Amino acid sequence: MTSETNLPLPPIVLDHPLIRHKLTHLRRKETSTAGFRRLTRELSLLMCYEATRDLPLEPVEITTPLETMQGEQLAGPDVCFISILRAGNGLLDGMLDLVPFAPVGHVGLYRDPDSLEAVEYYLKLPTQIASRRCIVVDPMLATGHSAAAALTRLKEEGAKRLLFVCLLSTPEGIACLQKAHPDVPIMTCSIDRGLDDHGYIRPGLGDAGDRLFSTR
């Protein structure tokens, strides 16, 4: 969704007190791997609540212990989650806690250490992707190259309704993604100061994948 002037919408920055509190503890270098995983899961659940706010509903008749009534349920097939490997998997658990029936796809990308460009090595997507809301998850929007490449591949496979969700972002990453995909909204918990000479987010939280999986 874009504005009437075909300009990208401004990023959606989630500033709920619980999100801000948990993100602060996630950033701490003293936070253990177990704590980092728990906080990431909790944050992803809170983010999923916002990312699915406008999912369509359909009426359904149900019977309570007292009487029959008209209720509402999600109209499907609609939502699916797409994880940008490997760190994106850290955001999936909380989202699947909230929407356990949602299909999940994966896009495997790695960043070339010299060019900082994204290189694809894996792609596996749900069926009916053209008719689904695709919530694409990756903890970090740093340079924006990986996210832009992932969204390009998803569009090539038929995806039409996309939302990019991340924990941290930078002005550079947002500008890159909006230039490549002005029709894709960005939802983030924080827009950090920027990138250092190695392409890491500052102040950031370190390498999300390494902290999630206890690797170096």
Question: Is 161 known to sit in a ligand binding site?
Answer: no
Q: What does the alpha-carbon distance between residue 145 and residue 153 come to, in Å, rounded to a whole number?
A: 12
Q: What does the alpha-carbon distance between residue 99 and residue 44 come to, in Å, rounded to a whole number?
A: 12
Question: Is 63 known to sit in a ligand binding site?
Answer: no
Question: Is 20 known to sit in a ligand binding site?
Answer: no
Question: Is 86 known to sit in a ligand binding site?
Answer: yes
What is the phi/psi pair of residue 166, to 5°? -145, 160
Q: How far is residue 36 from each of residues 46, 92, 96, 209, measured CA to CA in Å?
A: 15, 14, 18, 11
Question: Is 207 known to sit in a ligand binding site?
Answer: yes
Q: What does the alpha-carbon distance between residue 202 and residue 199 come to, in Å, rounded to a whole number?
A: 9
Question: Is 144 known to sit in a ligand binding site?
Answer: yes
Question: Is 208 known to sit in a ligand binding site?
Answer: yes
Q: What does the alpha-carbon distance between residue 35 and residue 211 come to, in Å, rounded to a whole number?
A: 10
Question: Is 150 known to sit in a ligand binding site?
Answer: no
Question: Is 193 known to sit in a ligand binding site?
Answer: no
Question: Is 1 known to sit in a ligand binding site?
Answer: no
Question: Is 111 known to sit in a ligand binding site?
Answer: yes
Annotated binding site: 86, 111, 138-146, 201, 206-208
Annotated binding site for 5-phospho-alpha-D-ribose 1-diphosphate: 86, 111, 138-146, 207
Annotated binding site for uracil: 201, 206-208
